[in-house]
Amino acid sequence: MDIRLFIPPTFAAWILACAFAAAGDSPPPVYHRGTARKIAQLTGEVDRTLRVPTRSRTRSRASILGTDLGSSFEHKGRLCFLFGDTAGAHGGGRDSFAWSDAAGPEALRLDFPVDSEGKFIPISIPGISQKAYEVPTGGISIGDAMYIVFTTDWLGEDVKNMGRSVLARSLDDGMTWEALYDLSQHRDGDLSQAHFINAALAETDSAAWDGGLPWPGQVVLIWGSGAYRKSSPRLACIPSERIEDRSALRYFAGLDSAGAPRWSERESDAAALADHDVVGELSAAWIEPVRRWTMLYNSKEPRGIVMRTASKPWGPWSDAEVVFQPWLDNGYGNFMHVSWELPERRDAFHDPNKQNVWAGAYGPYLIPRFAHGDARRCWIYYTLSSWNPYQVILARSEIGAPLDPPPPLLEESTLSFGDAQWRKTSDDFYRIAERDGQRWLTTFAERKDADQGALWRWLPRDGSAVALRFFVRGGQAEAMLLEGGGDIPTDAADMRALYDSIKRGEYGTVVRCAWGLNDTETPVTVEWRLSPYDRANLKVAIIDALDSPWGFVGVSEIQMTRDSNVHPDRAEDRAARMDGLGSN
């Protein structure tokens, strides 16, 4: 048994909270480490990382193979989504629009407008270029009209920037669009004065902000970034009833000597809300449970998706707080591909011919409708793009008041295949052997590829398991992690039917999945952090329902980390070592 001592990073946040309390101020919410999780893949036909159909089934329902981005806004009771370059019926350079009536995140299904052939109808704005990389970044509904900000005038691979953003309007619920005016524009390739190429929009009542906004009544707040992933966020404001009048735009230009906001008619006067020249895609929204304006964007330093919050639209904004770190929060190797140029294989999924292309987490777009909880513990939901696979997922992170420091002790143990807690359909579909100093279970037994069966076990029902680590080799049979549900039957005669019922969620939700590379020599490293899940209701299963070539899997004995704390930081050191790898 390996007992280790560590100092949790949440301890610093706890000390900071005490300092705020002593001063009589309310501290900004922080990320509760280990809580970020993928809820579902929103686009594509099949979630290839879990081998289950997506709820939206976009290939069969809209001829969409994959896409990215996914900023959203409310319109006439519907949640509307704007997606970027969309692979499918129209090649890869057109952009798509979808909506959903889902009241909750688990029911989120996308509906795309389609033509008579079942192909998605792309967003079309006459008069502007809409090629690859030229995409919609944010939208808002005012009255019966939709308004979106669309980036255009791609400046080329050398610059890798959009040169202009356009405000466009739809009067028929997104079916047709017309350009209204340029929101922000480069000057001969110079973007130093263009601060709103990417934009996030939200409507608010000016009366709620003590006269700090430049216009009375309902106004639209516009947070923006300029040079792509090389700029800091800015803020603009325009009356809702005059959103089609560019001359009504006012730009936050900093604070005066009394601490009151100053506003300017000139975009060049726009002041940075925070000094962080990494911002490209961004979202901002009022999150009611924490009563804060909340901003998300992807960052290279600190690495990951970061959050800033403010009690007022102009700030002061809190320091950057990472709410999703691709190594620490089970991204890489679970739904984000790890390049095979890394000697240690981490997954067996990637887009065609992109085995050496790193995934990257970007485009975190908040969905305020789904936020719930309170100031102590609030769950925020956002779309997130992964690049490889080229899809959009729905993600969730928990934020709120700093939690008490967790106890420092963790314990390692082994889920031995020989113990009585494993339940199995039979004893003859697998064998156990020593290899490389480890015990391995393989479903390549007496009947070889034709062997079929399942074995599974609950993880500790006290919720103490925080991580699993093991290796898989071989073929396409699977190891899975399931959340919730009941016992998996061991008297099933038809393994394929049992496999299908597991994937349908009849015995819990499949939240993690691993299989081999059709290679008995190269292991795939599997690391599953369990803190985002209901740890008292998790089970691990190995199932072989295949009888075709490579219809088996080998699994090493599973190493389990246990701890009594709800928010462990077990993977912090490993994440730091891996932090330079991957893409954003």
Percent of the chain with pLDDT over 70: 92
The per-residue pLDDT for 178 is 98
45's tokens: 């036909």
Amino acid at residue number 191: L
Amino acid at residue number 315: G
Whether the CB-CB separation of 516 and 469 falls below 8 Å is answered with no
Whether the CB-CB separation of 260 and 214 falls below 8 Å is answered with no
Residue-wise pLDDT tens digits, 343-360: 899 999 999 999 999 999
Q: Measured on CA atoms in the order 227, 74, 72, 482, is the torsion positive or negative?
A: positive
User: Other C-beta atoms within 10 Å of 119: how many?
Assistant: 15
3-state secondary structure of 193: coil
Q: Compute the distance between CA of residue 35 and CA of residue 33 in angstroms, rounded to an integer.
A: 6
β-partners of residue 147 are 140, 169
Contacts of 387 (CB under 8 A, 6+ apart): 68, 336, 357, 358, 359, 360, 362, 583
Whether the CB-CB separation of 304 and 551 falls below 8 Å is answered with no
Alpha helices in 24-152 (DSSP H): 58-62
Whether the CB-CB separation of 128 and 152 falls below 8 Å is answered with yes
| Longest Cα separation, the chain | 82
Whether the CB-CB separation of 390 and 83 falls below 8 Å is answered with no
Q: Is the pLDDT of residue 581 over 90?
A: no
Q: Compute the distance between CA of residue 238 and CA of residue 248 in angstroms, rounded to an integer.
A: 6
Q: Is the pLDDT of residue 407 over 90?
A: no
432's tokens: 């156990």
What are φ and ψ of residue 536, in 5° steps?
-85, -5
End-to-end distance of the chain based on CA atoms, in angstroms? 38
Q: Which of 534, 432, 543, 563 is nearest to 480 (CA)?
A: 543
Q: Which of 556, 564, 554, 464 is nearest to 515 (CA)?
A: 554
Look up residue 242 and give its DSSP letter: G
Residue-wise pLDDT tens digits, 16-63: 444 444 333 478 999 999 999 999 999 999 999 999 999 999 999 999
Whether the CB-CB separation of 87 and 64 falls below 8 Å is answered with yes
Q: Is the pLDDT of residue 573 over 50?
A: no
pLDDT grade for 406, boundaries at 50, 70 and 90: low
Half-sphere exposure of 325 (CA within 13 A, CB side): 26
Residue-wise pLDDT tens digits, 471-526: 999 999 999 999 999 999 999 999 999 999 999 999 999 999 999 999 999 999 99
Q: Compute the distance between CA of residue 556 and CA of residue 464 in angstroms, rounded to an integer.
A: 22
Give the Å distances, CA to CA, from 95 to 85, 129, 137, 259, 280: 5, 12, 11, 42, 18
Angle at 489 between CA 528 and CA 543, to 5 degrees: 45
Given phi > 0 = left and psi -120 to 50 = alpha, else beta, which region is 209?
alpha
Q: Compute the distance between CA of residue 98 and CA of residue 8 in angstroms, rounded to an integer.
A: 42
pTM (2 decimals)? 0.92
Whether the CB-CB separation of 514 and 50 falls below 8 Å is answered with no
Q: Tell me how far the alpha carbon of residue 137 is from its chain's centroid.
A: 16
Q: Can you list the domains of the chain with their CATH numbers?
A: 7-34+53-325+361-400 (2.115.10), 409-564 (2.60.120.260)
The mean pLDDT value for 520-535 works out to 95
Strands 438-442, 553-556: parallel, antiparallel or unpaired by DSSP? Answer: antiparallel
Percent of the chain with pLDDT over 90: 85
The per-residue pLDDT for 410 is 83
Q: Compute the distance between CA of residue 214 and CA of residue 374 in angstroms, rounded to an integer.
A: 31
What are φ and ψ of residue 213, in 5° steps?
-95, 155
Q: Is the pLDDT of residue 130 over 90?
A: yes
The mean pLDDT value for 364-381 works out to 98
Q: Compute the distance between CA of residue 348 and CA of residue 340 in angstroms, rounded to an integer.
A: 9
The per-residue pLDDT for 156 is 87
Mean pLDDT of the chain, nearest integer: 92
The per-residue pLDDT for 584 is 63
Whether the CB-CB separation of 479 and 553 falls below 8 Å is answered with yes
Q: Compute the distance between CA of residue 203 and CA of residue 353 in angstroms, rounded to an integer.
A: 44
Strands 392-400, 362-366: parallel, antiparallel or unpaired by DSSP? Answer: unpaired
The mean pLDDT value for 73-86 works out to 98
The per-residue pLDDT for 565 is 54
267's tokens: 């975009």
3-state secondary structure of 433: strand
Q: Which of 472, 408, 404, 414 is nearest to 441 (CA)?
A: 472
The mean pLDDT value for 515-542 works out to 96
Alpha helices in 366-407 (DSSP H): none
Q: Compute the distance between CA of residue 358 and CA of residue 452 in angstroms, rounded to an integer.
A: 34
The per-residue pLDDT for 18 is 44
